[in-house]
Amino acid sequence: MINSTFNQIFVDQINRMFGENGLSRPCKLISKDRDKALCPNCIIDPISGKSSGRYKSGGQVNFPYGQLCPICNGVGFLFNSNECTIDLLVIYDYKKFLNFGTNTNIPEGSIQVIAKFQDLKKLQKANTLVVDTSAGYIPNNEYEPVSQPQPIGLGASDYLFMYWNNN
């Protein structure tokens, strides 16, 4: 059994990393539904299944012939998506990953994030993670999940860790 004083020290130290002057970074979680809907703004090319670059009469935003549709960016369909921002501790160097025997098949270029347990559902739903939104544009800062969130803690599951791979 874990000593309650020791457990409290552990929780306090991890919480400090998430604190105002800590190491956590605001990260955007994006959840896209697997279902897609045809773009209501452009005519779809029946051969490619993508936008033909022609405006559909009655669409939301008119655009010049041959250009990308501003609604679907030329993809031809839309996903319903939800976004939220949470604070995460991000570890880029695989040698510094918390190792609980679960990272044997983690691809190169992956990151490990540590989150608070209260963010479990948000992490499970997310298809994309944008790291450190406070720093502006950073090349290659979008990741997709490689693992499910794993609870960690000393006698209680106060935190989670999860692996994400660069898109």
Q: Is the pLDDT of residue 102 over 60?
A: no
Per-residue pLDDT of 30-81, as tens digits, reads: 998 777 888 999 999 999 889 999 999 999 999 999 999 999 988 898 888 8
> How many Å apart are CA 36 and CA 81, to the nearest integer?
10
> How many Å apart are CA 97 and CA 163, to the nearest integer?
9
Hunting for tokens 């660069």 — which residue is that?
Answer: 166
**Mean per-residue pLDDT of the chain:** 86
Report pTM: 0.70
| Residue-range domain boundaries for the chain | 4-33+80-166, 40-75
List the Cα angle 143/148/153 in 5-degree steps: 110
What pLDDT is stored for residue 5 in this prediction?
84
What fold characterizes domain 4-33+80-166? Thrombin, subunit H (2.40.10)
What pLDDT is stored for residue 40 in this prediction?
93
Number of H helices, E strands in the chain: 2, 9
